Chain A
Amino acid sequence: MKIKLWGVRGSVTTTGPETAFYGGNTSCVEVWEDGWQLVFDGGSGLQKLNAFYQPGSKRIDILLTHLHMDHIQGLGFFRALFDPGMEVHIWGPASSSQTLYARLSRYLSPPLFPVLIRELPCKLTLHEIANSSFTIGPFSIQSQYIIHPGPTVGFRVSTGKSVFTFIPDHEPALGEKAMTLDMKWLSGYDLAAGADLLLHDAQYTATEYKIKKGWGHSSINDAALFASMADVKHVLFAHHDPFRSDDQLNEIFTEFTNDHSYSFKNELAREGMEINLD
């Protein structure tokens, strides 16, 4: 399984030289195996895939963790949706009140966007998922609701050879004793258990998290603890705060690694990073 990160910034895109190294595009990760392509989240990083878009391709699957703007804003600018020969499958979390179509239409319609979702030329299929298991080509995928405001899922994708877990927005530490309990009480545990690679929310420092509890995101400390509890082999800290420069990220990560030591590999996610799990 090959993985490429196209966007790892949280909340809103950033531009400028001060964030150029880790990147300013919001959530988007591409996964390849045996000619099948999955895209996790449709943040602004999705439009960077256009440069590598193969007009001969017949199908692409976009799996959305949730519908906050930084996870869908790239959809309207993704070439595949405007290709009549393309089969596009969008998978997103079910809500108890509105369909996925209705919720996506709130963005893909005027005044926010000039084209209506029903006018998109591609062959579009929407799939509502919850605590679900399904397969796409060589991929076995598990989705589960996790702690984040609004219907939000994380994904565990397996090829039989390797496992990648994608949880870019997650607050498993919500609650007084959330991270000191056994795994049965840990949000996202089933998705991450024993994964070869985990991409996880780490927007805040531990100090910042104290005043941002309930916002739906994690400190780098809690992300590492979560990875440790789930016994993952490699973790990428992502959803970088949009107010954070590359220098500040490096400073925070250096301070964190000086104070903590883990048996698994851990590093900051960076736009453009490629990882081969096989």
Chain B
Amino acid sequence: MSAYDIEIILNRQLADCLSIPVFITDTNGNLIFYNEPAEGILGKRFEETGEMPVSEWSTEFKPVDVDGNVLPPEELPLVKTLRDASPYHKSFWIESLQGKNQEISVTSYPIIGRTGKMLGAVAIFWKSTGV
């Protein structure tokens, strides 16, 4: 078993201390960590699921625009970050666990280590304040 690069490890340790939902993926979009606040969005506990392949966790969300049209994956910040290693931000709606649409803002950034190599990405979810 190989350990993750320290840039990934340190991002997890930071996420673990934050009260905002944070998702960390590898370069393929597989979910390698999400913190406790993110468990509320996903409806799952990291201790129970462990890491999740992109095919599994990406279907947990149904992002829609203001008119209720489903957003294609390529318009989502995290997908764009994984594609071109740049930070992105976007506000959209997701269906909450209670079946109600909730506006959120997502900020994503690439994890690029000292070697300049892309190691993964982080997505931070904020409840949109409407400001």
Interface residues in A181-209 (C-beta closer than 8 Å to B): 183-190
A263 at the interface (CB under 8 A from B): no
Q: Which of A43-51, A64-72, A170-178 contacts B (4 or more CB under 8 A)?
A: A170-178
B1 to chain A, nearest CB (A): 6
A95 at the interface (CB under 8 A from B): yes
* Known interface pairs A131-B115, A174-B13, A175-B17; A183-B3 also in contact (CB < 8 Å): yes
Interface residues in B1-46 (C-beta closer than 8 Å to A): 1-7, 9-10, 12-14, 16-17
Q: Once bound together, how far apart are the Cα atoms of A146 and B9, in whole Å?
A: 10
Q: Does the CB pair B10–A147 fall under 8 Å?
A: yes
Chain B: CB-nearest residue to A152: B6
A177 to chain B, nearest CB (A): 6
Q: Once bound together, how far apart are the Cα atoms of A131 and B14, in whole Å?
A: 22
- Binary per-residue interface labels of chain B (103-127) against chain A in the complex, 1 for a CB within 8 Å, 0 otherwise: 0000000000111100000000000
Q: Does the CB pair B13–A175 fall under 8 Å?
A: yes
Most buried by A among B5, B6, B16: B6
Q: Once bound together, how far apart are the Cα atoms of A96 and B7, in whole Å?
A: 13
The A-B contact count (CB < 8 A) is 53
Please name all residues of chain A whose beta carbon is closer than 8 Å to the beta carbon of B16 when the two chains form the complex. Answer: 175-177
Q: Does the CB pair A184–B114 fall under 8 Å?
A: no
* Known interface pairs A147-B9, A174-B10; A185-B17 also in contact (CB < 8 Å): no
* Known interface pairs A183-B1, A186-B3; A94-B9 also in contact (CB < 8 Å): no
A130 at the interface (CB under 8 A from B): yes
Please name all residues of chain B whose beta carbon is closer than 8 Å to the beta carbon of A95 when the two chains form the complex. Answer: 114
Chain A: CB-nearest residue to B7: A145
Please name all residues of chain A whose beta carbon is closer than 8 Å to the beta carbon of B7 when the two chains form the complex. Answer: 145
**Range class of the A interface residue count:** 20 to 34
B52 to chain A, nearest CB (A): 15
Chain A: CB-nearest residue to B15: A175
A100 to chain B, nearest CB (A): 13
B51 to chain A, nearest CB (A): 9
Chain B: CB-nearest residue to A94: B114
Q: Once bound together, how far apart are the Cα atoms of A94 and B117, in whole Å?
A: 13
The listed residue (B9, B113, B114, B116) touching A185 by CB distance below 8 A is B9
Please name all residues of chain B whose beta carbon is closer than 8 Å to the beta carbon of A138 when the two chains form the complex. Answer: none
Q: Does the CB pair B114–A96 fall under 8 Å?
A: yes
Q: Does the CB pair B1–A184 fall under 8 Å?
A: yes
- Binary per-residue interface labels of chain B (83-109) against chain A in the complex, 1 for a CB within 8 Å, 0 otherwise: 000000000000000000000000000
A151 at the interface (CB under 8 A from B): yes
Q: Once bound together, how far apart are the Cα atoms of A184 and B4, in whole Å?
A: 6
B7 to chain A, nearest CB (A): 8
* Known interface pairs A174-B13, A184-B1; A146-B6 also in contact (CB < 8 Å): yes
Chain A: CB-nearest residue to B113: A145
Q: Once bound together, how far apart are the Cα atoms of A151 and B3, in whole Å?
A: 18
Please name all residues of chain B whose beta carbon is closer than 8 Å to the beta carbon of A147 when the two chains form the complex. Answer: 6, 9-10
Please name all residues of chain A whose beta carbon is closer than 8 Å to the beta carbon of B9 when the two chains form the complex. Answer: 147, 178, 185-187
Q: Once bound together, how far apart are the Cα atoms of A146 and B115, in whole Å?
A: 13
- Binary per-residue interface labels of chain A (132-154) against chain B in the complex, 1 for a CB within 8 Å, 0 otherwise: 00000000000001110001000
A189 to chain B, nearest CB (A): 4
Q: Does the CB pair B3–A190 fall under 8 Å?
A: yes
Q: Once bound together, how far apart are the Cα atoms of A188 and B115, in whole Å?
A: 17
Please name all residues of chain A whose beta carbon is closer than 8 Å to the beta carbon of B5 when the two chains form the complex. Answer: 131, 145
A132 to chain B, nearest CB (A): 9
| Chain B contacts to A: CB under 8 angstroms | 1-7, 9-10, 12-14, 16-17, 113-116
Q: Can you name 21 A-B pairs with beta carbons within 8 Å?
A: A94-B114, A95-B114, A96-B114, A130-B115, A131-B5, A145-B6, A145-B113, A146-B6, A147-B6, A147-B10, A174-B13, A175-B10, A175-B12, A175-B13, A175-B14, A175-B17, A178-B13, A184-B2, A185-B4, A185-B12, A188-B3
